[in-house]
């Protein structure tokens, strides 16, 4: 692996990956050469550190998109040969201190952008200014050649050190940068289906696992979880951001829908169902009922007009006993359904994005009207089965703006695009046909342990941005990646005629316990992706934090 003073981080990364491939191909002779190169690189690194003992200076600047002149967050700016880097903040600014005086090469690397290197002179005791203007690559992402096949090229994960808080990791094959935006171990976002950022992305909602509490932080500085950035802790169940007001969080407490103003701290009761003329008498007659819930995964309609809830009780093994829908504009319960014990095996419930239908995540062996993934009208009088079972999924809008569910199909071994439509039919038999089902296979999962292409990861899905979804994978200890999806985060276009898939990032984490699952979530505007990782350290202890990837401006136009 040739490393020299003029190599950019991108070139070094490519050289490293080429060396790995040579090791696989040529065996021992390449290993000797590799060790020699590593020894040489360590000597160079030692020399750089010795140089670093001399006079120091600094550099600062701003990174912009060449076409739009917008500032770019999440760009990794590095001083070559000095092992120093910084990541641009939400305003595109960076600052690097303690740089050895003299001529230095400064490189800027951003997801989807062509790398750029500038040569500057660092003077002792002063701060130089170096701005960057980056050009988006065309195409900005690496595309998967055939997402319905199992034998796409496999990009093996490479070894890299645990990033310090606020530091980035560059992927030379995918051309992406992921940044550690949380420093506290055990602090992460909630789930793939939910956007943890508020409307203008000035704040983020995170869970602190140790205390079991919600925390809101400002995002102007990285890492986000600095003491000075804490806005407040939140005491609500299933908190969700307001679609329009960046200061407002919605949530539940017992039978109440609440909001809290993050600026003032003021809480407001939007609806108390214990006082509702339809729900109140049910609560009186069933005193063990203790809360309304969507089981953590469901949501209201995007505009917060239409809601659906379970009523859950402490008796009968805490099973859900009723479900009901509510129109906030008219303050009216639209539908009420009593759930029998045979129908209570349900994972989640929620409204479709436009509030057109209710979605009920029943198990394959559930009973009555609620078998498998089911859609219902808001009056809860009409039920239609969409899929054999409920698996990892999210609801969203496809490229035509139609309501869909994107979900793992347990009968066919694919991830499917499932229209929320009475014309959509489930595939009930293992290996069944897609003909006349109104559904589209997006990705072949290839869960086949006997195949060299078999997938060794679980999947999660995030459909927050219309027309697209994110598929992230999670792998358990001591299991290698062998399928093209293993240890990756990919972008999928929700185009029924020609769905496409693009690589975005690697997953440097392993699942030994639930909260170590990757569960990547894309923001509602499609500009940020955030996920949890333990970086393969302390596996099983849930000592996770968040990594983030910032998407390039105009990426949607460049891949369509």
Please report the pLDDT score of residue 450 as a whole number.
Answer: 84
* Encoded tokens for 525: 């505007």
Residue-averaged pLDDT of the chain? 91
Mean pLDDT, residues 174-203 taken together: 98
Instruction: Please give the Cα distance from 269 to 253 (Å, whole number).
Output: 9
DSSP symbol at 197 = B
Instruction: Please give the Cα distance from 519 to 437 (Å, whole number).
Output: 29
Look at residues 246, 245, 231, 251 and name the one whose alpha carbon lies nearest to residue 190: 251
Q: Exposed, middle or buried by CB within 10 Å (0-12, 13-18, 19+), for 401?
A: exposed
**How would residue 114 be classed by pLDDT, with cut points 50, 70 and 90?**
very high
Please report the pLDDT score of residue 445 as a whole number.
Answer: 96
What percentage of the chain reaches a pLDDT higher than 90?
A: 88
Residues ≥6 apart with Cβ < 8 Å to 69: none
Q: Is the pLDDT assigned to residue 65 strictly greater than 70? A: yes
**How would residue 53 be classed by pLDDT, with cut points 50, 70 and 90?**
low
**How would residue 54 be classed by pLDDT, with cut points 50, 70 and 90?**
low
* Domains of the chain from N-terminus onward: 9-133 (2.60.40.10), 177-559 (2.130.10.10)
Place of tokens 């992927």: 171
Q: Is the pLDDT assigned to residue 498 strictly greater than 50? A: yes
Please report the pLDDT score of residue 560 as a whole number.
Answer: 85
Q: Report CA 241 to chain centroid distance, whole Å.
A: 16
Instruction: Please give the Cα distance from 246 to 259 (Å, whole number).
Output: 12
Question: Over the stretch 123-179, which tens digit does the pLDDT of each residue have?
Answer: 999 999 999 999 999 999 999 999 999 999 999 999 999 999 999 999 999 999 999
Q: Is the pLDDT assigned to residue 40 strictly greater than 70? A: no
Look at residues 419, 325, 426 and name the one whose alpha carbon lies nearest to residue 377: 325
Question: Over the stretch 9-18, which tens digit does the pLDDT of each residue have?
Answer: 444 343 334 3
**How would residue 28 be classed by pLDDT, with cut points 50, 70 and 90?**
very low
- Dihedrals φ, ψ of 126, to 5°? -130, 165
Orientation of helix 9-26 relative to helix 28-51, angle to 10°: 160
Rounded to two decimals, the pTM is 0.89
Instruction: Please give the Cα distance from 527 to 111 (Å, whole number).
Output: 11
Residues ≥6 apart with Cβ < 8 Å to 449: none
Question: Over the stretch 290-331, which tens digit does the pLDDT of each residue have?
Answer: 999 999 999 999 999 999 999 999 999 999 999 999 999 999
Instruction: Please give the Cα distance from 373 to 347 (Å, whole number).
Output: 10
Please report the pLDDT score of residue 31 as a whole number.
Answer: 35
């Amino acid at each position: 692996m040739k490393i020299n003073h003029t190599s950019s981080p991108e070139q070094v990364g490519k050289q490293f990956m080429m060396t790995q491939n040579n090791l696989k191909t040529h065996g021992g002779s390449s290993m000797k050469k590799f060790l020699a190169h590593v020894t040489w690189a360590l000597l160079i690194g030692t020399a750089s550190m010795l140089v670093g003992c001399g006079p120091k200076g600094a550099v600062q600047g701003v990174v912009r998109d060449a076409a739009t002149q917008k500032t770019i967050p999440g760009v990794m700016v590095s001083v070559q040969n000095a092992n120093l880097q910084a990541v641009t903040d939400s305003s595109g600014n960076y600052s690097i201190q303690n740089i050895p005086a003299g001529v230095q090469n400064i490189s800027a690397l951003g997801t989807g952008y062509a790398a750029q290197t500038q040569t500057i002179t660092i003077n002792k005791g002063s701060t130089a200014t170096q701005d960057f203007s980056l050009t988006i690559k065309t195409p900005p992402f690496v595309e998967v050649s055939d997402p319905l096949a199992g034998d796409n090229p496999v990009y093996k994960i490479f070894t890299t050190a645990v990033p310090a808080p606020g530091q980035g990791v560059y992927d030379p094959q995918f051309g992406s940068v992921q940044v550690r935006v949380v420093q506290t171990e055990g602090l992460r976002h909630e789930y793939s289906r939910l956007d943890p950022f508020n409307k203008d992305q000035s704040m983020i909602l995170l869970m602190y696992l140790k205390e079991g509490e919600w925390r809101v932080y400002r995002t102007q500085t990285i890492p986000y979880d600095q003491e000075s950035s804490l806005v407040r802790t939140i005491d609500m169940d299933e908190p969700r951001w307001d679609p329009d007001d960046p200061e407002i969080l919605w949530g539940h407490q017992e039978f109440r829908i609440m909001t809290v103003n993050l600026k003032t701290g003021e809480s407001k009761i939007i609806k108390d169902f214990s006082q509702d003329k339809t729900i109140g008498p049910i609560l009186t007659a069933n005193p063990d009922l203790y809360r309304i819930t969507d089981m953590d995964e469901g949501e209201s309609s995007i505009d917060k007009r239409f809601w659906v809830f379970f009523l859950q009780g402490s008796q009968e093994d805490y099973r859900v006993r009723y479900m009901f829908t509510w129109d906030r504009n008219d303050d009216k319960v639209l539908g009420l359904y009593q759930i029998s014990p045979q129908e209570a095996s349900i994972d989640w419930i929620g409204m479709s994005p436009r509030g057109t239908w209710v979605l009920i995540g029943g198990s394959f062996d559930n009973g009555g009207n609620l078998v498998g993934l089911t859609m219902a009208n808001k009056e809860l009088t009409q039920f239609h089965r969409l899929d054999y079972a409920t698996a990892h999924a999210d609801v969203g809008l496809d490229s035509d703006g139609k309501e869909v569910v994107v979900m793992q199909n347990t009968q066919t071994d694919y991830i499917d695009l499932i229209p929320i439509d009475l014309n959509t039919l489930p595939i009930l038999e293992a290996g069944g046909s897609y003909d006349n089902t109104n559904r589209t296979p997006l990705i072949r999962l290839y869960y086949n342990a006997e195949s060299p292409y078999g997938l060794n990861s679980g999947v999660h899905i995030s459909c927050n941005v219309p027309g697209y979804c994110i598929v992230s994978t999670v792998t358990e200890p001591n299991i290698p990646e062998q399928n093209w999806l293993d240890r990756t985060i990919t972008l999928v276009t929700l185009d029924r005629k020609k769905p496409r898939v693009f690589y975005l990032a690697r997953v440097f984490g392993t699942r030994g316990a639930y909260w170590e699952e990757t569960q990547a979530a894309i923001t509602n505007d499609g500009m940020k992706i955030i996920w949890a990782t333990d970086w393969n350290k302390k596996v099983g202890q849930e000592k996770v934090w968040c990594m983030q990837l910032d998407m390039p401006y105009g990426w949607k136009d460049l891949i369509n």
